[in-house]
Amino acid sequence: MSIADESGKTFKEELRGGAVKMGLFINSSSPTVAEQLSTSGYDWLLVDCQHGPMNPENLSHMLAAIHCGKAKSMVRVASPTDFSGIQQALDCGADGILVPYICTEEEATNAVAAAKYPTEGTRSVYFPQRSTNKKGLLGYVGNANANVIVALQVETAGCIENMEAIAKVPGLDMLFLGQNDLCMSMGLYVKYEFPHMYTSDELNEATTKLITNAQANGVILGLFLFGTDRVQEFIEKGFTFISIGTLLVVVVVVVVVVVVVLVVLLLLLVLPVLLLLLTRAP
């Protein structure tokens, strides 16, 4: 359980130092699944309140389950202006938040401020709650601004256009590249046949602008990928906080493996019988 200790600051320092942290997006609202994933070797797990079936009670149970293991807990809130979602996620014990669909410097500034206590931000202080249970009110609140992970999602053409200013926002820890929505926002799904938009010159130029500005300001680079085919490519570009898919991908892989195993077992059982019948045939 990492909530309310000093490990958030260490986690960010390791990412900035080049240590790669792999994680997974969880779109399920099952605490049982979240708990098992947290003990399965992932460095972080993200509860998706933007696209997943979450309400505040689900979220509280999900974060409690993740904290049973060693994974850091992240929450993607619903929108750039979901300030109550940011408050609830952090009060329920999330180690960090991911804010989607950032377009402007003002949106970025307000989102970061919502995750920080005054005088750095606008987060409200309250006690008792899960985030303060481990070290008490003063023990948590006094260290939260340094330990909470604040990430903004880069997934709009406007974000790329305003990247120089966004990357300089005080208190920002991470810029997280969402290639799917960014390609959509830039019109690349119309211009290219799938999957060529992901290797297009336009997306590469946008990614380079993100990398240049993030590295110039000491901001961590994060990324969503489906699978591991391009992980090494992006590690070499400086991305250290990497999602290798969603819970759905894991489920599909598990189902495929189970089906293959069952087919193999069936063949092992049936083949000897068939061979025996063939050898006895007149």
| Residues with active-site annotation | 51
* 99-125 CB burial, b ≥16 within 10 A, e <16: bbbbbbbebbbbbbbbbbbeeebbbee
Counting beta carbons within 10 angstroms of the beta carbon of residue 7, is it exposed (0 to 12), middle (13 to 18) or buried (19 or more)? middle
Read off φ and ψ for residue 246, nearest 5 degrees.
-120, 175
Write down the residue that tokens 């966004």 correspond to: 166
Structure tokens at 257: 């493996």
**Residue 91 CB contacts under 8 Å (≥ 6 apart), including other chains:** 126, 129, 130, 131
